[in-house]
Amino acid sequence: MKKQAFNPYLPSWEYVPDGEPYLIGGRVYVFGSHDHFGGKEYCPGDYVCWSAPEDDLGDWRYEGVIYRKTQDPLATPRDRVLFAPDVVQGRDGRWYLYYTLASNGIMSVAVCDTPAGPYEYLGAVRTADGHIIGSVAGDLFQFDPGVLMDDDGCVYLYSGFSPRPGPWADEIFCGKVGDGAYCMQLADDMLTVVRGPVRIAEGVCCAQGTSFEEHPFFEASSIRKIGGKYYFSYSSVHMHELCYAVSDSPMGGFSYRGVLVSNGDVGFEGRAYRDALNYMGNDHGGLVCVKGQWYAFYHRHTNRSVYSRQTCAEAIKFRDGAFSQAELTSCGLNGGPLKGAGYYPAYIACNLVSAHGVCFSDRAGENDPCFTQDGGDREGGDPQYIAGLRKGAWAGFKYFDLTKTKTICVTARGAGGLLVVSDTEGELARIRLQESKEWTKHPADLLRQSGERAALFLRYEGDGSIDLKGFLLTE
């Protein structure tokens, strides 16, 4: 039997954000940066890679560490942070890994004979005279690469960083250019720029009057070629959303087209920011088509922090050359609803909302629920759980086939009180919780059976707070 696929699709102890997915030789490989649980900065870990068979997207395999931050000779102790990478296969058949160290504005390259590494340092992106781009004031500030090998063998590198103006941005840029996304064509050596850089998407400082005015470019460049057109995805200055633009040319003419996914579900079916369904923060990901189905990869935030992010994915509709915004779900790569029988960990909730709504993750406090784990950063061990559900807070799980489901048994700890189980039509059960410091099971019969694509919501009504580990559904 194939494994069911959840969000996040990697083990709950793994914190890989910025996931770029590629279908290579019958497997989907995901390349991203590497956060730590309880981390105090972005991307402190070495690059790792995970992959899954294209016909079993619930069966992810750890490919190991593919590149270490100590391998780059330009890295000082202050710069040993590997931000979001991207990979591409060169004309020579080898694989090239593009990345930036911390915020130095320089794009480095590593190379390997296989996509899953290990990679070895090759050099930095430069001009024909050997000048390393990003090394002096006036250069393009390179950040978050997107790389494309076109049908004719030409290689294009997309990059850029364009936050809202302010002292913080001035300190980062040090006089370098950060007003949008840029494209450069590279020579066969995969290092030397032969055309560009050319700006292809406007940042907030120059977006007025352009198609990017309402969703200016911020970061997270990603590029795909679909049906002869170029699809450029990016994170906007709104921080919670991945947008996309389309052009007939790889080096210009891009026009904003829409939102791919929001890690708060803002904009989906017209949802306003005030009605967001998850704690939000910066986002980064990419697109991949597997067996005719497109998926949008993105990341979520955990532990009331912006430094412990996890990669997720959603099926996304593509029709007549356009993508429709994907909805946050618990079953993103599963190919349909989850089964209505079996045990489900609470950390696969796609919606997590307090009684007063949600906020950006860096503003969350002790009264906000969160996804977390016991202990420090690790490999293996007990899974994540939802902590800090207070009165009126709820977790949502989408979607299940509940046409035959008759009972639910919730595992929780903390204060007593009432846990209300419902779907979109109304209540399914009311569970009286016993106060307990240990994980305790609380069973209940469902009042009725639900649909074949049903959402399941668990709302806490009581004094104090509870932690939610998971629940068992039976038919």
Among all residues, which ones are annotated catalytic? 18, 219
Three-class SS of 320-361: CCEECCCCCCCCCCCCCCECCCEEEEHHHCCEEEECCECCEH
Helices within 164-280 (DSSP H only): 167-173
d(Cα 231, Cα 258) in Å, to the nearest integer?
11
Q: What angle do CA 235, 236, 238 make, to 5 degrees?
A: 120
- CB-based contacts of 110, cutoff 8 Å, min separation 6: 67, 71, 96, 97, 99, 119, 120, 121, 122
For 385, the enclosing helix (H) or strand (E) is strand 385-390
Exposure of 214 by Cβ count < 10 A (0-12 exposed, 13-18 middle, 19+ buried)?
A: exposed
Give which of 47, 52, 56, 60 is closest to 25, Cα–Cα.
52
- Taking only Cα atoms into account, the Rg of the chain, rounded to an integer number of angstroms, comes to 22
Give which of 197, 218, 198 is closest to 207, Cα–Cα.
218
Exposure of 215 by Cβ count < 10 A (0-12 exposed, 13-18 middle, 19+ buried)?
A: buried
Residue 332, CA distances (Å) to 48, 68, 206, 251 in order:
22, 30, 36, 32
Strands (DSSP E) contained in 6-138 are 20-24, 27-31, 47-53, 61-67, 86-89, 95-100, 107-112, 120-124
d(Cα 428, Cα 315) in Å, to the nearest integer?
28
The residue type of 21 is: P
d(Cα 207, Cα 466) in Å, to the nearest integer?
45
Query: Could you tell me if 8 and 373 are in contact, meaning their C-beta atoms sit under 8 angstroms apart?
Result: no
d(Cα 8, Cα 10) in Å, to the nearest integer?
6
